[in-house]
Amino acid sequence: VYWSKIFKKSKDPTFLFIAILWYALYAWDEAFEALYGHITKLESEVLRTHEIELTRELHKVEAHLLHYKQLLQDFKKSVIFVKDTPNPVTESGKMTKQERKMAARAREDSKNLMDKETHNLLSEIERLESQRSMYSDRLQNVMRLAFASVNIEDSRAMKNLTEASLKDSAAMKQIAYLTMVFLPATLMSSIFSMNVAEINPGTKEHLANFAIATVLLTVFTAWLVIALQLHSSFWPPGSGVFRRIAWPVFYVAKLIKDARERRGNARRNRDNILRTP
């Protein structure tokens, strides 16, 4: 009914094209309505599953929205062209003065009606562009959420791997310490082959010699292992090679100094207690 009245008021065939543009606008509305449902579904999936595969689908939708931006701009240019370009069919030919006056009035009415319809179309296109921009912002937000969720999951996985590595490192340290303790004894038993007088009478070696050699080799191994470390609690950070090699001397000196300080503190505390009335 609405367009029938317009066609009766104006003989400009451009209004038929305007009606077709309105149908295109209604199709845009339906497309955005379907897209809104798809974006809402993707948001729910991202919040529920935290799967990285969903980001690919989000990027696809974002690519479609960028394409829609260009299409809406072309749609807007078409409406502006129709608005600013009068139909040459409506131009006056050979007419009388009265007919020219009536044709001019009809063109003025058609122009006003055309301005009204194109203004409404441009307003609706602006609404669609705002809607598209809002969808794009929502997609960006969902993509940031998806990447953040994946990063959190990766951080948790890395934390678990780090904890497992620390446990393995602690186990390897224990094995290394056990090896450090038992390896010298094993070596010495291989050397002596346990041919000691206490076990195999008639031999010249004694168990005491085996014990002394084992203890000395164990102490040497412990000294060498600690001296070769770059960081240790036995010397200050940044110590030189000589300081690390001579760590037993400095360590014993530190123990003696600490013992003297404790005795001095205990003596001062005792004297203070005796002086107190």
> Is residue 122's pLDDT more than 80?
yes
User: Per-residue pLDDT tens for 234-273?
Assistant: 777 877 888 888 888 888 888 898 888 888 888 887 777 7
Q: Please compute the mean of the pLDDT values over residues 113-127 and round it to a whole number.
A: 88
Position 114 scores a pLDDT of 82
Confidence of residue 201 (pLDDT cuts 50, 70, 90): confident
122 close to 79: Cβ distance less than 8 angstroms: yes
Mean per-residue pLDDT of the chain: 79
Position 86 scores a pLDDT of 75
Range(s) within the chain of domains with CATH label 1.20.58.340:
1-165
Nearest alpha-carbon partner for 199 in 213, 185, 209: 209
Percent of the chain with pLDDT over 90: 8
> Is residue 104's pLDDT more than 70?
no
Q: Which CATH number fits domain 1-165: 1.10.10.60, 1.10.3720.10, 1.20.58.340, 3.40.50.300?
A: 1.20.58.340
String of b and e for 15-52 (b: at least 16 CB within 10 Å)? beebeebbeebeebeeebeebeeebeebbebbeeeeee
User: Per-residue pLDDT tens for 49-93?
Assistant: 767 677 788 888 888 888 999 999 999 998 898 888 777 665 555
Nearest alpha-carbon partner for 244 in 257, 258, 259, 233: 233
